[in-house]
Structure 1
Amino acid sequence: MDDSIEMDCAPAVPNIKREAPNILITGTPGVGKSTLCRMLAETTGMQWLEISKIAKENNCLEEYDEVYQCPVLDEDKLMDGMEEAMCQGGNIVDYHSCEFFPERWFDVVFVLTTDNTTLYDRLTSRGYTGKKLQDNVECEIFQVILDEAKNSYKEEIVHEIQSITPEQLQENIEKICLWIQQWFETN
């Protein structure tokens, strides 16, 4: 995210009043979402909603996908269970996909991106191989998650941020905290 980007801090849906904003952090697996979300939650006191963990804890998983070596998310069940918390606000949602979340839930969407070499190294260190590794690297190359976000939410609330170096991680935290501060001043 460039410092010159003007971020709109108004609620995404004006008739919904929340005590604090809801933030979506999304991107290809391995771009650094969980690290950023954990640090943001620690810094801001906002609630970190790690979707993969919530889905597992609340039995929002369907059959197991042998190709990608992971369970399939029951999106409807998950969203039903999250509705109350999302209406209250103050959440940082962390997930590698975004198109199924209702637009009304989020005040801002940050799409983390990284270079292919960094992503490849991060994913192989997690044990990704074969089709799962290839598809995730291609997803980043073709900016699939960024396009999903741009197609699913108002353009003015979607922001791409680079996530390669520790310095960028710290800069991203500072920029998002500034956005949060502006949201409170505006709302």
Structure 2
Amino acid sequence: MKQPNILITGTPGVGKSYLSQRLAKKFGFKWQNVSDIVSEHGFVEEYDEEFECPVLDEDRLLDYLEPIMQEGGNVVEYHSSEFFPQRWFDVVYVVRCGTSILYERLQERGYNERKVRSNMECEIFQIPLDEAKDSYLSAIIYELQSDKDSDLEDNLTKVSEWLENWRSTNKSQ
């Protein structure tokens, strides 16, 4: 049986990487950290000086990921989701975080004030959640709160339950 592909998305600093690493390890999935893939393979069109970040070459990234995604068993992590094909994912988790906690996390990362403000606005206005809702079937989108350590364990349990249900539903495939 082919394993499902899971998308973990959300504003930078909400806890996507930590959750993705734990999920991949727990279930034996491959963690596809899109930011690392972009850096490693140079899938960059230019560098945005204002926000101090690379501008993604989506076409080259998608061409690279296509055969990987066909294999299944991937946890894909990225702060944006709208450009990924819907067919790639069996479930989409949007990780959320309280703004006061997020502000502290972004400050600890050393982000400049403009980048902190931009990411805070993304979380306040639910940009990652809206992107997911505009790009994927509502039935496969779930929100996960990631404010404290106990939230991580709760989130792992929620994903475990989803995976157990997915496996029982897809036994014959």
Normalising to structure 1: TM-score of the pair? 0.89
Counterpart selection for 1:34 from 5, 17, 31: 17
- Write the distance in 1 (CA, Å) between the matches of 2:67 and 2:167: 21
**Equivalent position amino acid for 1:82 in 2:** L
- Write the distance in 1 (CA, Å) between the matches of 2:115 and 2:53: 10
- In structure 2, what is the equivalent of residue 87 of structure 1? 70
Give 1:1-187 correspondences, 5 Å limit.
Answer: 19-187=2-170
- Write the distance in 2 (CA, Å) between the matches of 1:124 and 1:130: 8
- Write the distance in 1 (CA, Å) between the matches of 2:166 and 2:4: 7
**Equivalent position amino acid for 2:41 in 1:** N
**Equivalent position amino acid for 1:38 in 2:** Q
Deviations 1:91-126 (A, max 9, x none): 000000000000000000000001100000000000
User: Tell me, which stretches of 5 or more residues in structure 1 are unaligned?
Assistant: 1-17
- Write the distance in 2 (CA, Å) between the matches of 1:62 and 1:177: 37
**Equivalent position amino acid for 1:19 in 2:** K
**Equivalent position amino acid for 1:47 in 2:** K
- Write the distance in 1 (CA, Å) between the matches of 2:160 and 2:31: 14
- Write the distance in 2 (CA, Å) between the matches of 1:99 and 1:79: 12
Structure whose residues are more often helix by fraction:
2
- Write the distance in 2 (CA, Å) between the matches of 1:129 and 1:59: 24
CA RMSD of aligned residues (A): 0.8
Shift of 1:182: 1.3
Normalising to structure 2: TM-score of the pair? 0.96
Identity of aligned residues (%): 52
Segments ≥4 residues shifted beyond 3 Å:
none
User: Tell me, which stretches of 5 or more residues in structure 2 are unaligned?
Assistant: none
- Write the distance in 2 (CA, Å) between the matches of 1:126 and 1:164: 17
Shift of 1:162: 0.5
